[in-house]
Amino acid sequence: MRSAIWVSLLAAVVSAADEPEYETYDYIVVGSGPGGGPLAANLARAGYSTLLVEAGDDHGSLSVYNELSNFNVAGNDERSRWDFFVKHSDDPERELKYERLTAATLGGCAMHNAGVCSLPSADEWNWIAEITGDATWESDNMRKYLIQTEKNLYMPEGSEGHGWMSISTSDSSWAASGDWPANSILAELAELTDQDPEQVADLVNKDILTPGEDHLSSFYNMAQHGDARGRRSSPNNYIKATLADEANYPLTLALNTLVTKVLFDEDAETPTAIGTTTRFYARREVIVSGGAFNSPQILKLSGIGPAAELEEFDIPVVVDLPGVGENLGDNYEGSVVALGQAPTGGSRITGFWPGFPDDYGANQYSCAMVHTNPKSQAGSVRLVSADPQDAPDVNFRFFEHEGDQDLLELVEAANLLRESWQVAGDEVLPYDEMHPCPGTSAGNCTIAEQADMIKHQAYSHHATSTCAIGADDDVNAVLDSKFRVRGVKNLRATEEIVADAVKADEASEPKPKCKRHIK
């Protein structure tokens, strides 16, 4: 792992009279990705002195990062990747069947993802409101945080949307005027999903960020956090704009600084962050925003997590919080991949590993399948040692609960895609399928054979829920509805939820905006 300064961060309420000779801030935010970076900038813009700590360096000026089209190269760049290799199950034999057994930077994962933007359904927001009793999570209220964040470049002038993050859409004019195999396939997909194939040109221009849309069976134009020229818009831009602003906002950035733990006064009635011999203090709070893998790792190294796991590595237990690092979930991803007899367009994406993706030339074609509501969420992020530079043991435990049903639904999706390909035309057909049903004869695999292939080769890159928000009586809830870590004071945490739309009058109560993509 990259070299970095090791620091211990502390959250303490410090009075002006006895303020120590250390650097002291109102807030310390750990992690500059989509969760922590914009949050730190907004806290500073609200007038709070804020230290933003990032383990990596600033690569935002490099074309490999600031041009969206280079996301595959950026994802492979050793300067910014963490190399957290993961397991998909507890079965060693099953793990060996996975074909790919072999990030830190200012702006986090938003610097090397594909930039795709989408919104949770209203039900997801309302579910959080229901379990926590916090009505501010209701979908109607959450909409305003997207509006505060996005700088929408494709809506008519004067439309709402005035934030910092540029969002644009791709040119879909080919759907109206092109005579490509993809046009025929698109029309067939519309027919197979009960949409009007004569209206595909309009369907692919629908705005996926429009509230109230039926996102279950429709086409949409792909929204990305970038401008019309393909330049990435990310927390990196917002952080540096805040630092450079003539208003001289009180934001301090510490790069190449690896957080090891947060320290607490364990003699207090409630464990309270108080101080350390290192140089950073926080008058108000520390906010850990290290992502779905790093956030639980930092909490555990700080003594917050399942007591038995902490005791195994001689980490003093501050709070026995069983849910830290548990409840890891993700959407299953797979793809139908084939070689045509002529170029169809597209590339092969079958997972993420050093050197991804494979390139089989101009005739390759693939369609991705993403199971966004898997029934199994049984994964974990667990320590392998007390060394903060040792990557944790990450195991998704895919398909552990009701896996057969999830696999059946993925096979149905593969069959749907495969059927749509059969109208590509004589110039392209037959496709020589590579995955999940090798061969040139559509449907020459059984459901069980396809399910077995998908089970062993499914991948993911949207990990979530290792620091789960939950009800007060939920023993596995790590955070309350305001991101406060249970059982301690002056400490909040985020991981998959993006907490970046903070108003000046809500600076101590960050709110999430939308789900993000990570790789």
Rounded to two decimals, what is the model's pTM? Answer: 0.84
State pLDDT tens for residues 334-393.
Answer: 888 888 898 866 566 666 656 667 777 788 888 888 888 888 888 999 999 999 988 899
114 appears as a binding residue in the annotation: yes
- What residue numbers bound the domain in which 35 lies? 5-85+103-117+231-321+471-506
Residue 96 covered by a domain: no
* Residue 502 predicted with pLDDT over 60: no
8-state DSSP, 184:
H
Residue 243 to residue 239: CA distance in whole angstroms: 6
- Residue type at 190? A
Radius of gyration of the chain (CA): 24
Residue 351 covered by a domain: no
Query: Angle at CA 390, nearest 5°, toward 384 and 391?
Result: 80
337 appears as a binding residue in the annotation: no
Residue 53 covered by a domain: yes
Q: In the structure encoding, which two tokens stand for residue 293, read together?
A: 């893998």
State pLDDT tens for residues 165-204.
Answer: 999 998 888 888 778 888 899 999 999 999 999 999 898 8
pLDDT band at 85 (very low <50, low <70, confident <90, very high): low
Residue 184 covered by a domain: no
Q: Assign 218 to helix, strand or coil.
A: coil
Considering only 84-88, 135-139, 394-398, 467-471, which range has the smallest mean pLDDT? 84-88
7 appears as a binding residue in the annotation: no
Q: What is the pLDDT, as a whole number, of residue 507?
A: 36
All residues at 6 or more sequence positions from 16 whose CB lies less than 8 Å from its CB, including other chains: none
Residue 475 covered by a domain: yes
Residue 412 covered by a domain: no
Residue 33 covered by a domain: yes
115 appears as a binding residue in the annotation: yes
Element (H, E) at 169: strand 165-169
pLDDT band at 92 (very low <50, low <70, confident <90, very high): low
CATH number at residue 62: 3.50.50.60
For the chain, the domain total comes to 1
| Average pLDDT of the residues of the chain | 81
259 appears as a binding residue in the annotation: yes
Q: What is the pLDDT, as a whole number, of residue 172?
A: 87
Q: What is the pLDDT, as a whole number, of residue 515?
A: 29
State pLDDT tens for residues 459-468.
Answer: 887 888 999 9
Contacts 24+ apart (CB under 8 A), 215-220: 215/118, 215/119, 215/121, 217/193, 218/193, 219/186, 219/189, 219/190, 219/195
Residue 168 covered by a domain: no
